[in-house]
Homo-oligomer: A and B are copies of this chain.
Amino acid sequence: MATTRAPRRGRPGYTRDQVLQVAVDVFNQQGYDATSVADLAGRLGLTKSALYHHFDSKEQLLELALDSALGGLEGALDEAMQHSTVAEQLSEGIRGAVQVLTARQAEVTLLLRLRGNSAIELAALQRRRTFDQRVAALVRQAQAEGLLRDDIDAGTTTRLVFGMINSIVEWYRTGGSIDPDRLADEVLTVALDGLRPR
């Protein structure tokens, strides 16, 4: 078994990335738990053993997809934190998160729908919590500096703003009429200035 799985790339028809992309779409459509390797192979028009040339298991596909979503979000926050002021860190952090959500929509959708039914899911949820805590700490700092209102708890503030951001994966259409940069600006405007004209 180990020897037949060795050549992981270059199967005619699909790259590893393409297989992963299709798998994530199927997971999102019918649920990870309800998807079998046979379902994935069927969707790709591959045999199960051809699919195993690309990946070791369904779990590995899940893990890679979640790592792409979380890695993107963490990277965007790391980059935002390079800015020197808390105001910029916050606005670039929000902007960066919107951009990751539009660029890695399927992977983030999978992340947001996790139920924690396996060790891989629990690890991803823990990593997501760590990310949320970093953002909440930034929000708390912005409140302390008077940049954000402090009559709403930093945790609630973070959850509401990320609720707005995360919803984007539900309705954003790649190649549609909404430009990701413009959307990032709009999210920032609603979050900071609200909908009521000043």
Chain A residues close to B by CB (< 8 Å): 28-34, 113, 115, 117, 146-149, 151-152, 156-157, 159-168, 170-171, 178, 183, 186-187, 189-198
Determine if B162 and A167 form an interchain contact, defined as CB atoms under 8 angstroms apart.
yes
Alpha-carbon distance between A162 and B194 when the two chains are bound, in angstroms:
14
Given known A-B contacts A160-B167, A163-B164, A148 and B197 have beta carbons under 8 A apart:
yes
* A152-B189, A163-B164 known; A194+B197 contact, CB < 8 A: no
16 other A-B residue contacts (CB within 8 Å) besides A30-B115, A31-B32, A198-B198: A29-B117, A31-B31, A31-B34, A33-B34, A146-B197, A147-B196, A152-B186, A152-B190, A156-B178, A159-B167, A161-B190, A162-B167, A163-B163, A163-B167, A167-B167, A194-B195
Contact A149 B31 (CB under 8 A): no
Contacts A34-B34, A197-B146 hold; do A190 and B29 have CB atoms under 8 A apart?
no
State whether A196 and B192 are in contact (beta carbons under 8 Å apart), knowing that A115-B30, A164-B163, A167-B166 are contacts in the complex. Answer: yes
Q: Within the assembled complex, what's the spacing in Å between the Cα atoms of A197 and B145?
A: 11
In the bound complex, how far is the Cα of B184 from the Cα of A152, in angstroms?
12
Given contacts A31-B31, A33-B30, A33-B31, contact A197 B149 (CB under 8 A): yes
Contact between chains at B149 and A195 (CB < 8 Å): yes
Contact check, A168 vs B178: say whether CB atoms are below 8 A apart. no
CB distance from A159 to the nearest CB of B (A): 5
Please list 16 pairs of residues, one from A and one from B, whose beta carbons are closer than 8 Å in the complex, sorted by A's number.
A30-B33, A31-B33, A34-B34, A113-B113, A148-B195, A149-B195, A149-B196, A149-B197, A152-B195, A156-B178, A157-B190, A162-B167, A163-B168, A167-B167, A190-B191, A194-B194
